[in-house]
Amino acid sequence: MPKSPTRKAGPAPRRTRKAATKAKATAAPSARAAGGRRSTRQTVRGAARALQAAIRSGNAAAAEKFLARDFSFIDAAGHVHSRRSVLNALKASPRSAGAQIKVRDYGRVALITGSYKSAQAGERSDLFALDVWVKDDNKWRALIHHNNVLARPDAPSAHASAAPRSMDAPPPRCVNPLEVVPCKPKNQAERDIITAFQALELAVTRNDPAEWQKHVADEFVVTRTRQHPTDKAARMAFMETQRAINAETFVAEVVTLKFWVLGDAAVMRADHAMPGNRRPPYRATRLWVKRDGHWQMAISQQTTIQP
């Protein structure tokens, strides 16, 4: 029986080529986005290194090029230093290289976090630094340098246990900030962030982690003086323990409040005082991000104000 003639393979079906082209086109934006994020992180990291080199050498003219017009430095004692005072006091001084440096890209805002040795920390602790960089006029500049002294790794948790209350006892009212804050928003974004902040703080006073998490980004972390960093899961777990005993949970009043909104990211700088001096006054730098049309808090650095 004669063999059937061998057929030559024809061209790939047109649908297959279209599908491949479509897949390639779909993959390209995500690849470009990933490359863009890497490029931004590298650019910001390079600018931060150049600024640190200028600071180490005491070169105020070089450092000034990397500082935003309203740059501020919050030291580990919670004291605020203006751009001009920082530049005027700049002198050559050694500074150790940072450890565990992380750069996060939020479009026109980037965050650098890390720790380094400093005499201000004391007790052989490291200073934890949060640097906020913003892109303005197509250049990256430092907006806030915020230091803090966190708990040592072997230190116990600093969260105090609250006293149990009757389950029908009402939560505290906390007029400021739940009803009013000392800030007149300049635009819709600021109004929306204030609304989200009030909803978040209301959930805290009600020990309601389910509501609280709606206003907090998944990567959220809060750092407080002499405490361990607390992520979203740990904060929600603590709120659950407060909920179980109907703890009376107060939130701090807002003394001053300022925003920098850059696209879908916003920096929020606030000074706080706790009603009844339940906690010493502190300064906070927060980042808010807009996702799926809603503003969420992504990071909060809080430093106790020392006398």
Peptide bond into 177 cis (omega under 30): yes
CATH fold group of domain 175-304: Nuclear Transport Factor 2; Chain: A, (3.10.450)
pLDDT along the chain (307 residues), means of 10: 43 49 50 68 96 95 98 97 97 73 97 80 74 95 97 82 93 97 98 98 98 98 96 97 97 98 98 94 98 98 97
How far separated are the first and last CA of the chain, in Å rounded?
103
192 alpha-carbon distance from chain centroid: 18
Q: Do strands 67-74 and 139-149 pair parallel, antiparallel, or not at all (unpaired)?
A: parallel
For 192, list phi and psi in degrees, rounded to 5: -65, -40
Q: Considering the domain 33-149 in this protein, what is its CATH number?
A: 3.10.450.50
What are the extents of the domains in the chain? 33-149, 175-304
Separation between Cα atoms, residue 33 and residue 39, nearest integer Å = 10
**Alpha-helical segments (H) within 102-212:** 175-178, 188-205, 209-212
Separation between Cα atoms, residue 154 and residue 123, nearest integer Å = 13
Backbone angle region of 284, left / alpha / beta, with phi > 0 → left and psi within -120 to 50 → alpha: beta
Question: Can you give the pLDDT at residue 157?
Answer: 80
Separation between Cα atoms, residue 139 and residue 136, nearest integer Å = 5
What pTM was computed for the model? 0.86
Q: Using alpha carbons, select from 256, 283, 36 the residue that is nearest to residue 144.
A: 283
- One fold for 33-149 and 175-304: yes
Identify the residue whose tokens are 């606030």. 270
Question: Can you give the pLDDT at residue 116?
Answer: 77
